[in-house]
Amino acid sequence: MSIAQDPVDGPIGQALWARADQVLPGGGIYYSRSADFAGRGVLPGFIASAQGCRVTDVDGRTYIDFLCANGPNILGYRHPEVEAAARRQAEQQTSASFFPPALVEVIERLVARVPGMAFGVTSKNGSEVVSLGVRMARQHTGRRTVITFDRAYHGSDPELANRPPPGPLSDGVRDIVRLPWNDPQRLADHCAAHADTTAAILLNPLDQNPGLQTVAPSPEFLGAIRAAQARHDIQLVFDDVRHGFRLDPVGSFRPLGLEPDVAAFGKALGNGYAISALVAREHLRAAARKIFYTSTFMFEASAMAAAMAMLEIYERDNVFAHITAMGERLRAGILAAAAKAGQAITYTGPVTMPTLLLADDPGGARLKMFARAASGRGAILHPNLNWNLSGAHQPADIDETIAIAAEAFAETPGPG
């Protein structure tokens, strides 16, 4: 089966692609969030509606979705209580002239969730709060350089992006130092030699990148990060935009034994409504007050109401335990299905955010065939991005997915 000859998109989806190709710029703009990231025709290009753990494309085909909007869907699409909270707020106001009360309420709640945090800021996307956290660290320390690691993704801000911008480098980009993940000695040496110019370490909880095995930080590496904070006053800006709520109910830094100076959240926070946030320690407040930061829609209040409902339901329903149990069930089933089909696979990363790799599959061509076969049978199992579990995935959905994966493995050619 050639993907191009048998795209998962039906006639309406294909017609929309034809129009999109005329008026969208293409290239890197929108790319990683478009179905094209997996190769045109592997995944449905246009989603008309979503409910629970399922999405329906414009041609009316429904899929069990394990991308979860690339993170935001943590409770289930269109969770009734989140929708009701957002609607109630929208009936009062969405964007009005000054602060909505929901701003204070949501920041109070966020600050209270993370021990040691004193104040917070909400925004709309992860990139904005990560960049703001970096600015706070620079303002506080009076230093410019920020350490990040290997291919770590921190959003598309050109300064923090994990690929150099195509145009001339700005000074900001020059102030980013990329060190190897899990090399405590390099980190310690760098921090000792450049303490007077290093403002922050910008950290993800995992080294988790498309097409690669997920690598957890080693205890020694974590020790070097703590030492950089303690010895050199380097600020730890923890980027929990992607992993927040899926590695730990409070923050992914907690199981790592880290105490960030700034923690940034996004994606799952509003269960699909556009809200991101950072929380920070008291010592950064004076620096934060000197920063000019605003945007037209940062006070849009229905997303704040959605976030408060999300946090309430997430804790009340112990969603973290649920996604862990569903993730374990999926992992066991996928491993068994692959073994039965004679496919050598690596199932890597936390069970709530796993990545599937096929053995001897340079470039991931066979994995795309697997993903296309799964799409055709009604499951979105992205071949490039990690999968995400949600509170709406129930055992029956997982078992249906495992049965789909078994057929997809059988249809996927072996290596060579």
Binding site for ligand PLP (CB under 6 A): 125-127, 130, 153-155, 204, 239, 241-242, 266
Q: Which pairing describes strands 345-348 and 262-265: parallel, antiparallel, or unpaired?
A: unpaired
Taking residue 111's Cβ as centre, other Cβ atoms within 10 Å add up to: 17
Integer Cα distance of 323 and 248 in angstroms: 11
Phi-psi region of 109 (alpha: psi -120 to 50; beta: other; left: phi over 0): alpha
Q: Is the CB of 58 or the CB of 129 nearer to ligand PLP?
A: 129
Nearer to ligand PLP, 122 or 204 (CB): 204
Least CB distance from residue 70 to ligand PLP, whole Å? 6
58 or 385: whose CB is closer to ligand PLP?
A: 385
Of residues 125 and 343, the one with the C-beta less far from ligand PLP: 125
What is the distance between the alpha carbons of residues 185 and 195, in angstroms, rounded to a whole number?
15
Nearer to ligand PLP, 201 or 341 (CB): 201
| CB distance 370 to 408 below 8 Å | yes
| Residues 173/145, Cβ–Cβ less than 8 Å | no
Q: How far is the CB of 210 from ligand PLP (least distance, A)?
A: 11
Strand partners, 120: 279
Q: 207: which residues sit within 8 A by CB, 6+ positions away?
A: 149, 150, 151, 152, 181, 182, 214, 215, 216, 217
As beta bridge partners, residue 148 has: 178
Cα–Cα distance measured from residue 383 to residue 38, given in angstroms and rounded to the nearest whole number? 6
CA distance 349 to 211: 12
Q: How far is the CB of 264 from ligand PLP (least distance, A)?
A: 7
DSSP 105-171: HHHHHHHHHSTT--EEEEESSHHHHHHHHHHHHHHHHT--EEEEETT----S-TTT-SS--SSPPPH
Closest CB 43 distance from ligand PLP, rounded Å? 17
Spatial CA neighbour of 244 closest among 385, 104, 113: 113
Nearest to ligand PLP of 132, 405 (CB atom): 132
- C-beta closer to ligand PLP: residue 129 or 338: 129
Tokens read off for 184? 């405590």
Closest chain position to ligand PLP (CB): 126
Cβ of residue 169: shortest distance to ligand PLP, in angstroms?
21
List beta partners, residue 57.
47
- Would you give the distance in Å from CA 126 to the centre of its chain? 9
Q: Which two tokens stand for residue 233?
A: 């006053």
Q: Are 166 and 177 in contact (CB under 8 A)?
A: no
Choice between 154 and 190, CB closer to ligand PLP? 154
Nearer to ligand PLP, 50 or 130 (CB): 130
Alpha-helix runs per DSSP H in 171-281: 171-174, 184-193, 219-232
Least Cβ distance, residue 165 to ligand PLP (angstroms): 16
Closest distance to ligand PLP from the beta carbon of 219 (Å): 22
